[in-house]
Structure 1
Amino acid sequence: MLLSLTQVSIRYPSTPDTGAVDERSAVDSVSLGLAQGDIGVLIGPSGCGKTSLLRAIAGLEPLASGQISLGGAVLGDAERNVHVAPEMRRIGMVFQDYALFPHLSVAQNVAFGIQGQPAAERQCRVTELLDLVGLGSAAKRAPHQLSGGQQQRIALARALAPAPRLLLLDEPFSSLDVDLRERLAQELRSILKQTGTTALFVTHDQLEAFALGDVIGVMHRGRLEQWDDAYHLYHRPATRFVADFIGHGVFTPARIVEGDGASGPRVRTPLGDLVDVEECPLPAAYPGGECDVLLRADDIVHDDESPVKARIERKAFRGSEFLYTLQLATGERVLAHVPSHHDHRLGEWIGIRAEVDHVVTFAREASGGAYGA
């Protein structure tokens, strides 16, 4: 692994109402690895610690515990009191606000971090990077003459100019509109792959994370809940928080029961039994087999012939589809993606069935009641 974090913790002082000085953990015992040339993404709600972790990797935050290494060299080790200065780490960083120098031209901004190189080499590198980000014709322009998306690409070119061992990006698209963010995320991935740059990206936008990341980390309250590819985050969430945070879905009371004859266990839900699924846990996995099953919106199929009916409580138009919020006669709520030409009225009852390829269950929350027999 190029980048390796081992049990990294970061703490900030806090002053409660009592007046006593205390400390709170912004990052708590995070371990992860990022391979050469891979793009990692940290995602999570505001205040979960993702930016603090990025700043610690850059050398801008001291470690309370743990170790950070890059290419086998230790950059920070709390126990051994090692802290390599930020400017000595060969790590580039792209910020939310671009941080371009307004008094310098686009080319001068890109060249800022490579002033020590010979003039000819410097010019060649600037031209190469401006062409790479599609702004070769803007070299002599001032940053304020460019759009937000163009300024972000200039900031990226400037960060890439010194050929950093690792590039860190802290929500660089947060100030841009949704359509532009999605396009730039795809362009950014292409540029990073072309240059073979290893990068770690922070965002709160799941679509950005999925578009960019080879590996994605979901953070919650300072802890790394899961560090995995997008497919496994969605279909194999390691914790209840990841299951709830990624995608659209609900947890429904269920019971795992033994199958009949040669069939394996099945999960009994308000929409019927989920059967013939290899990943189905054994009934003994939970007391009495009682659990909560994750039903995502794409697990619920609109089927007028189904005996299971649900009433439409809410619907959100998404272009090619609606996201329906549905209530079953038994009171449980589920979500469903329905093609937008199936434009049913609020309050209407429609038939639905479950098609679950990946059964994901968790321990029953205290508020959930027993289900099935």
Structure 2
Amino acid sequence: MFLALDQVGLRYPGAAGGPAGKAAVDGVSFGLARGQIGVLIGPSGCGKTSLLRSIAGLERLHSGRILIDGEALADAATGLHLAPEARRIGMVFQDYALFPHLSVADNIGFGLRHLAREPRQQRIAEVLDLVGLAHAAKRAPHQLSGGQQQRVALARALAPSPRLLLLDEPFSSLDVDLREHLSQELRGILRASGTTALFVTHDQGEAFAIGDVVGVMQHGRLEQWDESYSVYHRPATRFVADFIGHGVFGSGRIVQGSTDPVVQTALGDLSDAGECALPSAYPGGECEVLLRADDIVHDDDAPVKARIERKIFRGAEFLYTLRLSSGEQLVAHVPSHHDHQVGEWIGIRAHVDHVVTFGRPSPVAAE
């Protein structure tokens, strides 16, 4: 792997200079291949920015090690801590951090002062062209839109040809439509430049739009590091299943079918081409099954009926919150031309391609 993290741990100082407090990053290991784009996602305070700062060299490790292309950048066991400026890592922040008194071109060239004038100007022109801002070279940052300023910040980070680019929620201050547009642009720019990158965001749509691989963090730990498709359809932990997408956990019981195991639910039997867990996986086969909003299909002819408790209009679709007669709650994406009223009963059926089950939490764990 080009970027490799091995059991990385980080703790911030405790109160009043006392012993180190709770771990901000706890035993995180993952890798990025050269040219790959990774994304870290998780709730606020989960440790994703702290992890990024550790890779950049802005924080010292308390355990583990970090390597790029086989070179150790930090190793807690030996005390190695390469200075940030020696790591050849670029960073892009949320606030752009552009120099207001310098032109766009001079902002980009700020980190290229070691080059002679001609190669410096050539590199500035290359990255301006890469981010689509060649026409704005002589403008001041305040003359640009927020999206353009963020592209300048990206160009400045790319100009010195870093081995790795780190991006810490760079679009969080922009409006939703612009963020979606820039997410697609960013992936294209990173691909065109062949840059290996690690991106931090709290936005799932952004994570899936940008990342080749996605990591989900909670309480400083990495719950899953996988391709976007697998993170969504094959969550490794209950937290990932609950955090990613819209869904609920319904009661189920795994039994052996004629050929493969099936999960008995209030919506009928669910099977997954032999990949469903075995009945012996949980005591008595009793489990909880993940039912995402896109697993529930509105079908007027279906024998199972559910009452609409809430609905959210999303343009092309509604997000319905439904209640079965058994009391179980579900969520469903329904095309918006099916405009049913709250309190109305509609027919539904399950269309689950990936059956994901978890053990039922104990009463203590549930509390």
1:35 aligns with 2:49: no
Q: Quick one: distance in 2 between partners of 1:223 and 1:101?
A: 36
Q: Quick one: distance in 2 between partners of 1:353 and 1:367?
A: 30
Asked whether the 8 Å contact 1:63–1:78 carries over to 2, the reply is: yes
Q: How does 1:60-99 map to 2 (within 5 A)?
A: 60-99=58-97
Among 239, 243, 246, the residue aligned to 1:248: 246
Q: How does 1:118-157 map to 2 (within 5 A)?
A: 118-157=116-155
Asked whether the 8 Å contact 1:250–1:334 carries over to 2, the reply is: yes
Q: Quick one: distance in 2 between partners of 1:263 and 1:123?
A: 68
Q: Which residue of 2 aligns with 1:59?
A: 57
Among 332, 337, 355, the residue aligned to 1:336: 332
Q: Which residue of 1 aligns with 2:190?
A: 192
SS of the residue 1:208 aligns to: helix
Q: Which residue of 2 aligns with 1:289?
A: 285
Q: Which residue of 2 aligns with 1:267?
A: 263
SS of the residue 1:23 aligns to: coil
Q: Quick one: distance in 2 between partners of 1:314 and 1:110?
A: 50
Residues 141 and 276 (structure 1 numbering): CA distance in 2 closer, same or farther, change over 3 Å? closer
Among 170, 178, 184, the residue aligned to 2:168: 170
Q: CA deviation at 1:266?
A: 1.1
Q: CA deviation at 1:264?
A: 1.9
Q: How does 1:224-239 map to 2 (within 5 A)?
A: 224-239=222-237
User: Cα deviations across residues 107-139 of structure 1 (Å, max 9, x unaligned)?
Assistant: 000000011111011111111111111111111
- CA RMSD after TM alignment: 1.3
Q: Which residue of 2 aligns with 1:202?
A: 200
SS of the residue 1:217 aligns to: strand
Q: Quick one: distance in 1 between partners of 2:185 and 2:155?
A: 13
Q: Quick one: distance in 1 between partners of 2:34 and 2:160?
A: 17
Q: CA deviation at 1:275?
A: 3.2
Q: Quick one: distance in 2 between partners of 1:20 and 1:81?
A: 21
Q: CA deviation at 1:185?
A: 0.6
Report the residue type matching 1:269 in the other structure: T
Q: How does 1:307-318 map to 2 (within 5 A)?
A: 307-318=303-314
Q: Quick one: distance in 1 between partners of 2:14 and 2:316?
A: 48
Q: Which residue of 2 aligns with 1:319?
A: 315
User: Cα deviations across residues 177-210 of structure 1 (Å, max 9, x unaligned)?
Assistant: 0000010010000000000000000000001100
SS of the residue 1:13 aligns to: coil
Asked whether the 8 Å contact 1:277–1:359 carries over to 2, the reply is: no
Asked whether the 8 Å contact 1:226–1:242 carries over to 2, the reply is: yes
User: Cα deviations across residues 253-276 of structure 1 (Å, max 9, x unaligned)?
Assistant: 1111122xx332210111111136
Asked whether the 8 Å contact 1:7–1:66 carries over to 2, the reply is: yes
Q: CA deviation at 1:343?
A: 0.1
Q: Quick one: distance in 2 between partners of 1:314 and 1:160?
A: 47
1:300 aligns with 2:296: yes
Q: Which residue of 1 aligns with 2:349?
A: 353
Residues 129 and 329 (structure 1 numbering): CA distance in 2 closer, same or farther, change over 3 Å? same
Unmatched runs of 5 consecutive residues or more in structure 2: none
Asked whether the 8 Å contact 2:272–2:355 carries over to 1, the reply is: no
SS of the residue 2:240 aligns to: helix
- Give the TM-score taking structure 2 as reference length: 0.97
- Give the TM-score taking structure 1 as reference length: 0.96
Q: Quick one: distance in 2 between partners of 1:73 and 1:276?
A: 43
Q: Which residue of 2 aligns with 1:371?
A: none
